[in-house]
């Protein structure tokens, strides 16, 4: 035990000495939080839409007003004659074009069918859907408000969005960003520390010492988990201040998951460090296998159910995936204690496997006796 | 120095450079395997699709109409029917615990009120944590219910309202989400690979001390740098070709624009990446330092470029900030060339901006690096 404590002391002393490592530990995670938390949004507001109105009546003007009433769509000048509906797309950032035919008002007031042509730039599939839904909803609202509906809506849905009624995307992105950041950076630091011993040859001294591989890894992982806890304190309190996150649910599961999650990130880093011969190779292993998977397969940006089959298997064993859920449950959903126990259990299994893998590799290299 | 000699020296240096890079497994991995790996992961993992939401239904009416209503929600795969727990409170708890994405509660008097021609509200609640998906799902619910009502009153499938918007999707009519991400990933991976490989190729000479040996030879610092840049640019253009081939062959992304223009803007992007790599090498003592410093540059460059999350959705401040990001222009060019089939007239501002960035960054970083050599 004393040996492990001495190791922890040595690791933290080494960590504090290097300015670049300190910036990597505390400054870059903060920048990453700002970039992910503020600049990552999936849904556009104020989408520019150009409307060409060939009609002269008042109904078409009312209809256009309804389209722009919610504020999601914003009117832009229609460049072109209106014969080619594609023409205004791409000019001045216009994402959709609408053409209202002549005789629109006359036809509608006589309750005849009038067709409105819409074309949407679908490069960004998600926002193309947003625009489509918006136009359909506004059209239905217009028909209802003018009493033009052909059918009576006998059954109508009362749709409510739970936990996030204002559809504030920060509540979705920020908890996910916390999870991704607290995976990447602790992992990177631990990998660097482990690979440094190998690169500088000091690991041979450790092999030759009486320290067992188990103790060696315990010292390293505990030291870097302590550092990771400081990173977590910084990142979580920053997101409380910047994004207005609050604990709304059971916090015991969250904190239990947090400690296990940080430990598993560090264990993964140590594992990557034992596989690499140089520090730059260690960084590359972590960047390709840790960074990309945490960012893409954890459900941080898009729903987990959309990940295609063989990749979804990898997603299932990622601790980051479980911690993204834990963060969203604790900060937004306010889930029960009992329903979330699978989260810390899954993360603990991952941490254990990574720890054993790292110590097994080291044991093979250690001197016998 | 005579001209012939100059080029012989340059050729020899370049040959050495290419051999060194091709011998280095780590650099080869970055140059040729990384783009394939990243395209596969991004292309198959990122999808904003809103379907198969887990729906729990508590049907207090359990009548013909209520069962038809549930079926209407499930029929086009937007929702997937899951165990609801049978009671309102149990259903609510399942949504709160994240086990379900949405809940539907149908009141007991639905059938009676329907027969009497009275309006009935059914309760739908959707997990709003994923604000974007929830908004789209809410829109779907209203649309499904509207067409359900039309079917109930007319009995026919295709009864339409007085105003029916004819909506079509341009450039990507099948709404294939990978078509949006793949051009972004080409840009992202090119930026990563070019900065990492070029900084590694330069800093390695510094790290191992061979740079001093090179300087002792009759070659000039300009030749040394030129002999680094040319082979790197050539190899990185192969990276571009690999990325483009994967995009077209695996993801069936269309290539609608001008291939020459694409190669030209890619070349500019490669130069930008190499410049960043040279700058990293100039300011670093060893490979570890340049690699770690690259995180501080590549993270914001990629995040602000609009490669992954759409540029238009960013808050205004970050949209302005992104004008400082050279990758932003390349992302716009690649999307326009691949998906929209635009030519020079559509993207000349971006091509021009990218050229300016490439020129300025390359001059700054090479003069900085050469200053160090003296």
Instruction: Map out the domains of chain B with their CATH numbers.
Output: 3-46+177-373 (no CATH), 53-154 (3.40.1710.10)
Dump pLDDT digits (tens) for A80-121: 888 888 888 887 889 999 999 999 999 999 888 888 999 999
Question: Which residues in chain B have their CB less than 8 angstroms from residue A280's CB?
Answer: 26, 200, 287-288, 291
Give the per-residue pLDDT at B270: 97
Question: Does A262 map to a domain?
Answer: yes
Residue A205 CA, chain-centre distance (Å), reads 42
| CB-CB neighbors (< 8 A) of B138 in chain A | 159, 161
* Minimal-distance CA residue of chain A relative to B29: A284
A223 and A339 within one domain: yes
Q: Give A284-287's long-range contacts (Cβ < 8 A, gap of 24+).
A: A284/B26, A284/B29, A284/B30, A284/B291, A285/A191, A286/A184, A286/A187, A286/A188, A286/A191, A287/A188
Closest partner residue to A296 among B34, B41, B346, by Cβ? B41
Q: Is the pLDDT of residue A67 over 90?
A: yes
Q: Looking at beta carbons, which residues of chain B come within 8 Å of A121?
A: 170-171
Tokens of A119: 């074309």
A220 falls within a domain = yes
285-304 in chain A: CB under 8 A from chain B: 288, 292-293, 296-297, 301-303
Interface test with A, best of B51, B89, B106, B167 (most A CBs within 10 A): B167
Say if A155 falls within a structural domain: no
User: Domain for residue A163, yes or no?
Assistant: no
Q: Residue A316 is part of which domain span?
A: 2-40+169-365
Per-residue model confidence (pLDDT) at position B209: 79
> Residue B357 corresponds to which tokens in the numbers above?
């960035």
Q: Tokens at residue B207, please? A: 């790290």
Are B96 and A334 within 8 A, CB to CB? yes
The number of CA neighbours under 13 Å toward the Cβ of B40 is 11
3-class DSSP state of A74: strand
Chain B within 8 Å of A241 (Cβ-Cβ)?
no
Residue whose token pair is 């930026």: B191
B346 at interface of A, judged by CB pairs closer than 8 A: yes
For residues A26 and B295, give the distance between their C-alpha atoms in angstroms, rounded to a whole number: 13
CB within 8 A of A239, min separation 6: which ones? A33, A37, A174, A175, A177, A178, A245
Pull the structure tokens for residue B324. Answer: 């400082």
Residue-level pLDDT at A278: 87
Residue A3 three-state SS = helix
The pLDDT of residue A75 is 94
Least CB–CB distance from A333: residue in B96, B125, B136? B96
Q: Does A341 touch chain B (CB under 8 A)?
A: no
Is B253 an interface residue toward A (CB < 8 Å)? no
Q: Cβ of A241: how many Cβ atoms within 10 Å?
A: 9
Pick A155's closest partner by Cβ from B69, B95, B138.
Answer: B69
User: How far does the CA of residue A303 sit from the closest CA of chain B (Å)?
Assistant: 7
Among chain B residues, CA nearest to A118:
B167
From chain A, the residues in CB contact with B301 under 8 A are none
Q: What is the pLDDT of residue A358?
A: 87
ipTM computed for the complex: 0.90
Decide which of A129, A145, A161 is a domain's last residue: A145
Taking an 8 Å cut-off on Cβ atoms, the answer to whether A43 and B132 are in contact is yes
Q: Give the total number of structural domains in chain A.
A: 2
Is residue B160 within 8 Å of A151, Cβ to Cβ?
A: no
Residues A34 and A139 in one domain: no
Asked if pLDDT for residue A325 goes beyond 90, the answer is yes
* A64 and A198 both lie in a single domain: no
Beta strands in chain B (DSSP E): 53-59, 79-82, 102-106, 120-127, 163-170
- Is there a domain that residue A153 lies in? no
User: Do A82 and A99 touch, CB atoms closer than 8 A?
Assistant: yes
Q: Are residues A99 and A126 in the same domain?
A: yes
Q: Which residues of A touch B347 (CB under 8 A)?
A: none
A51-61 residue pLDDT tens: 999 999 999 99
Can you list the residues of chain B whose pLDDT is less than 70? Answer: 1-2, 155-160, 374
A18: nearest CA partner in chain B? B289
pLDDT at A369: 47
- Which of B195, B180, B172 lies closest to B42 in space, CA to CA? B180
User: Domain check: are A196 and A312 in the same one?
Assistant: yes
Rounded alpha-carbon distances, angstroms, from residue A164 to B96, B134, B187: 12, 10, 34
- Both A355 and A273 in one domain: the answer is yes
Least confident of A144-158, A290-304, B88-102: A144-158
Q: A85 and A200 share a domain?
A: no
Return the pLDDT at A33: 96
Reference A168, options B303, B305, B101, B315; nearest CA is B315
Cβ–Cβ gap B169/A44 under 8 Å: no
Q: Which residues of B touch A326 (CB under 8 A)?
A: none
A159: in domain: no
Across the A:B interface, residue pairs with CB atoms under 8 Å apart total 349
A22 and A55, same domain (yes or no): no
Residue B324 burial (C-beta neighbours within 10 Å; 0-12, 13-18, 19+): exposed
- Residue A250's pLDDT is what? 82
Q: Residue A345: which residues within 8 A CB-CB, separation 6 or more? A: none
User: Number of helices and strands (H, E) in chain B?
Assistant: 15, 5
In a domain, A154, yes or no: no
Q: Average of pLDDT values for A306-313?
A: 89
Domain stop point among A87, A113, A145:
A145
Same domain, A204 and A248: yes
CB neighbours of A212 closer than 8 A, spacing ≥ 6?
Answer: A366
A93 lies in the same domain as A220: no
B258 — phi, psi (to 5°)? Answer: -90, 125
Determine the residue of chain A that is closest to B109 in CA distance.
Answer: A155
Kindly report, residue by residue over A333-355, the tens digit of the pLDDT: 988 888 889 999 999 999 999 99
- A34 interfaces chain B, CB cutoff of 8 Å: no
The verdict on B154 touching A (C-beta cutoff 8 Å) is yes
Residues 165-194 of A with CB under 8 A from B: 165, 167-169, 171-172, 192
Specify the pLDDT at position B156: 54
> Would you state the torsion angle of the CA atoms of residues B219, B223, B229, B232, taken in this order, to the nearest 10 degrees?
-40
Distance from CA of B4 to the nearest CA of A (A): 39
Helix (H) or strand (E) holding A175: helix A170-199
Are A28 and B163 an interchain contact pair (Cβ–Cβ within 8 Å)? no
pLDDT digits (tens, 9 = 90+) for A174-233: 999 999 999 999 999 999 999 988 888 887 787 777 777 788 888 999 999 999 999 999
Q: Is A210 on the interface with B (CB under 8 A)?
A: no
Q: Which candidate in A29, A280, A290 is best for mutational testing of the B interface (most B CBs within 10 A)?
A: A280
Chain A hits for B296, Cβ within 8 Å: 23, 28, 31
Tell me what pLDDT residue B181 has: 93
| Chain-chain contact of A125 with B153 (C-beta, under 8 angstroms) | no
- The owner of tokens 């390349």 is B330
CA triple A328-A333-A339, angle to 5 deg: 90
The Cα–Cα gap between A29 and A232 comes to 10
* Residue in the block written with tokens 């939401």: B53
Distant-in-sequence, close-in-space partners of B211: CB < 8 Å, separation ≥ 6: B205, B224, B373
Which positions in chain B touch A133 (Cβ < 8 Å)? 135-136, 139-140, 143
A312 is a domain residue: yes
Same domain, yes or no: A86 and A201: no
CATH number of the domain that A112 lies in? 3.40.1710.10
Q: Same domain for A121 and A249?
A: no
Q: What are the angstrom distances between the C-alpha of A170 and each of A36, A300, B136? A: 9, 12, 17
């Amino acid at each position: 035990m004393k040996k492990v404590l001495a190791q922890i002391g040595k690791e933290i002393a080494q960590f504090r000495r290097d300015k670049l490592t300190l910036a990597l530990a505390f400054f870059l995670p903060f920048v990453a939080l700002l970039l992910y938390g503020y600049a990552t949004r999936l849904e556009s507001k104020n989408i520019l839409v150009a409307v060409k109105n060939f009609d002269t009546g008042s109904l078409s003007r009312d209809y256009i007003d309804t389209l722009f009433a919610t504020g999601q769509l914003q009117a832009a000048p229609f460049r072109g004659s209106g014969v080619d509906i594609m023409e205004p797309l791409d000019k001045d950032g216009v994402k959709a074009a609408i053409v209202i035919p002549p005789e629109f008002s006359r036809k509608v007031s006589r309750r005849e069918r009038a067709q409105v042509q819409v074309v949407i730039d679908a490069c960004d599939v998600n926002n193309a859907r947003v625009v489509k839904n918006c136009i359909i909803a506004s059209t239905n609202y217009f028909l209802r408000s003018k009493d033009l509906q052909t059918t009576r809506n006998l059954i109508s849905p009362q749709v409510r969005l739970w936990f996030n009624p204002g559809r504030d995307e920060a509540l979705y992105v920020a908890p996910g960003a916390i999870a991704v950041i607290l995976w990447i950076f602790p992992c990177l630091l631990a990998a660097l520390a482990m690979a440094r011993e190998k690169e500088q040859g000091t690991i041979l001294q450790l092999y030759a010492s009486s320290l067992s591989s188990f103790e060696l890894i315990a010292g390293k992982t505990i030291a870097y988990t302590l550092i990771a806890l400081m990173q977590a304190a910084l990142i979580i309190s920053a997101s409380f201040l910047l994004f207005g996150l609050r604990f709304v649910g059971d916090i015991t599961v969250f904190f239990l998951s947090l400690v296990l999650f940080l430990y598993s990130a560090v264990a993964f880093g140590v594992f990557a460090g034992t596989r690499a011969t140089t520090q730059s190779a260690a960084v590359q292993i972590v960047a390709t296998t840790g960074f990309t998977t945490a960012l893409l397969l954890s459900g941080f940006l898009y729903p987990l159910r959309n990940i295609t089959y063989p990749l979804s298997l990898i997603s299932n064993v990622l601790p980051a995936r479980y911690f993204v859920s834990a963060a969203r449950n604790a900060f937004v959903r306010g889930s029960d204690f009992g329903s979330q126990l699978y989260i810390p259990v899954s993360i603990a299994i991952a941490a254990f496997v990574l720890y054993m893998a790292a110590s097994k590799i080291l044991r093979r290299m250690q001197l016998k006796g | 120095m005579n001209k012939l000699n100059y080029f012989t020296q340059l050729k020899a240096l370049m040959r050495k450079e290419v051999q060194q890079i091709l011998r280095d497994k780590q650099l080869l991995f970055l140059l040729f395997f990384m783009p394939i790996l990243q395209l596969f992961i991004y292309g198959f993992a990122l999808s904003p699709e809103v379907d198969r939401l887990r729906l729990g239904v508590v049907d207090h009416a359990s009548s013909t109409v209520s069962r038809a209503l549930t079926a209407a929600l499930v029929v086009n795969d937007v929702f997937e029917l899951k165990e609801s727990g049978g009671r309102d409170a149990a259903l609510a708890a399942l949504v709160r615990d994240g086990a379900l994405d949405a809940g539907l509660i149908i009141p007991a008097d639905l059938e009676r009120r329907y027969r009497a021609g009275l309006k009935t509200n059914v309760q739908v609640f959707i997990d709003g944590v994923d604000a974007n998906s929830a908004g789209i799902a809410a829109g779907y619910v209203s649309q499904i219910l509207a067409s359900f009502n039309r079917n109930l009153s007319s009995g026919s499938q295709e009864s339409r309202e007085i105003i029916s918007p004819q909506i079509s999707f341009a450039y990507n009519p099948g709404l294939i989400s990978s078509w949006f991400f793949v051009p972004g990933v080409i840009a992202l991976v090119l930026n990563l690979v070019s900065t990492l490989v070029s900084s590694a190729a330069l800093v390695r000479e510094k790290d191992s001390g061979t740079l001093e040996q090179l300087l002792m030879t009759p070659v000039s610092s300009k030749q040394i740098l030129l002999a680094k840049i040319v082979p790197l640019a050539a190899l990185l253009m192969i990276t571009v070709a690999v990325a483009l081939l994967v995009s077209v062959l695996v993801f069936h992304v269309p290539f609608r624009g001008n291939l020459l223009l694409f190669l030209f803007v890619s070349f500019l992007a490669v130069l930008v990446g190499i410049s960043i790599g040279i700058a990293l090498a100039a300011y670093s003592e060893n490979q570890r330092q340049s690699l770690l410093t690259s995180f501080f540059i590549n993270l914001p460059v990629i995040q602000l470029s609009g490669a992954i999350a759409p540029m238009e959705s960013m808050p205004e401040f970050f949209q302005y900030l992104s004008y400082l990001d050279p990758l932003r222009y390349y992302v716009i060019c690649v999307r326009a060339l691949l998906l929209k089939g635009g030519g020079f007239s559509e993207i000349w501002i971006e091509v021009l901006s990218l050229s300016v960035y490439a020129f300025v960054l390359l001059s700054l970083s090479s003069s900085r690096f050469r200053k160090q050599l003296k």
